[in-house]
Each structure stands twice: as structure tokens, then as C-alpha cells.
A = this chain, B = another copy of it.
């Protein structure tokens, strides 16, 4: 990747730039941002060769363009850059939902560029260029969601692996169902739990130990971005929320029956499954 353009210098865009500077010092890096102020921070940090609020300037000559803006902003930017694309350019994004993104962007770039969705699962509860780090992607899983065979897939895989990611391939739909379960539902639950505690007994917050801190850490993530993610993946998130409601109802039944064995079986299974995760 000789010329890389990053659209949006937030946590992920900034971290990609920092990681590339370190891992591929020969690459030329252009960064587009909406706000002059953020671009000045980026400029001072020295992580880019070019920073601009002009999309045409940033994407011209790029071999790889990475969309790191909120998913709702991608369509408009995609349409704007089409006239300035270098033939054969590879385009990807880092959005947390893939079905709607692929559905919207793929037709815009059809025949003009190759678009393959990416989802590096390296977000955190922090946001913005201030939180960016060169090692953000080390060991993180990155899911790619190609919709057809192409030599560009290998290129894109190589890009994320260079940054330290473990690459996995899923269809956009399988991706969205998977992350609804392991990311979007947990986010909703963490937020709902924090709200329940603060509404029921705000004083209880001062007694919280590390357990509660860890369990609810993701609830500190940027609200507007997450609301958009949850609604973009509406069906799967709703189905799994209903599923956990059902499962919690069964827990209430166990508690009602004072069923020690039943509760212990539930916790033992969770123990076992959770420990598989560690390895």
C-alpha cells in the first residue's frame, strides 16, 4: 500500500495512521477530517503526510481508502469521492455494522473501485484522536465481509495483518448477527444496568467494586455513535434482547423455586464457556 487515505481521524482512523507510520514508514498517508481543529492536532502529531478538509485532495492517488467516520456519514462521502478515485483503488471501512454499509457503498463504487467491508474489533469506551494508539490493533480480531471473490481480499487481509489484527471472514449478514450477540447486546445490557442502578439507588454507585466497573465499562462508549450502530443492526439486536429477556425470566423461576442446583448449573456452564474465551 503505497498511498493510504484515511477518512476521519477519530480513535480508529488515528490509530490506523499511527500504526501505519510505525509498521510501514514508506507509505504515504493522507487524512481527511471535517473539522480544521482536529486536523491541526493530527498535523502536529506528524502521523500524516497530508491533512485536508478537501476530500478530492485526500483520495486522489490513494491505493487504499479507509472510511473511519460514523456509518451514517459514509454514503454522502462515498458519492463525493467517486470522481476522484484512482482506477483499481481498494476501499474499506471500519464500521461496526456491515450489512447496511455494504448495501449502501458497494453500488456507489461498482466498477469504479473495489469495496470490501472491515470491522476491526478494537474499539474502546474512549473516542477521538486523543485516545488513538499505534498498538490498538495488536491481537484484535478484524472481520472482513467480502461479497465476492477478488484478489483485493488478500491485499486487505495483508493490510490488517500488518497492523497486528487476526483476520476472519464472514458474510455481512453473519457478521451483523455475530456482533449483535457479542458486542451490541452486551452494550445495551451494560447501559441498561447502569441506568437501573442509578435510578434505583444512586448511592449504591459509591460501593461499586471492580466487577461492576468491568461489567459496565463499555457503557461509557460514545452514545450517538452507539445509538446509530444499534439501530442499524435493529433486527438482530432486538431478537437477542428478547432472547436474553427470556433467559432472565428462567433465572427468576430458578430463584423463585430456590433451586440451588439449577442456579449452580447455570453458573457452572457460564464458567466453562467463559474460560474457553481466555485461551
A interface vs B, CB < 8 Å? 121-124, 140-141, 143, 168, 177-179, 181-183, 185-198, 200-201, 203-224, 226-228, 230-231, 234, 237-238, 240-245, 247-249, 251-252, 255-256, 258, 260, 263-264, 266-271, 273-278
Contacts and interface: CB of A to CB of B under 8 A. Distances in A.
A223 B267 CA distance: 5
A254 to B, nearest CB: 9
Contacts of A187: 211
A247 B122 CA distance: 29
Contacts of A214: 214-215, 217-218
Nearest to A252: B241
A120 to B, nearest CB: 9
Contacts of A278: 220
A267 B226 contact: yes
A168 to B, nearest CB: 6
Given A223-B264, A234-B255, 6 more contacts: A141-B209, A179-B207, A188-B251, A241-B255, A244-B248, A245-B249
B230 A121 contact: no
Contacts of A211: 123, 183, 186-187, 217-218
Contacts of A237: 255
Contact of A196 (B195, B208, B223, B244): B244
30 contacts: A140-B209, A141-B209, A143-B207, A179-B207, A181-B204, A185-B196, A189-B193, A190-B215, A191-B266, A192-B266, A192-B270, A193-B244, A194-B270, A195-B247, A195-B270, A196-B243, A213-B277, A216-B270, A216-B277, A220-B278, A221-B267, A223-B270, A227-B267, A230-B263, A231-B260, A241-B248, A241-B252, A241-B255, A242-B252, A248-B248
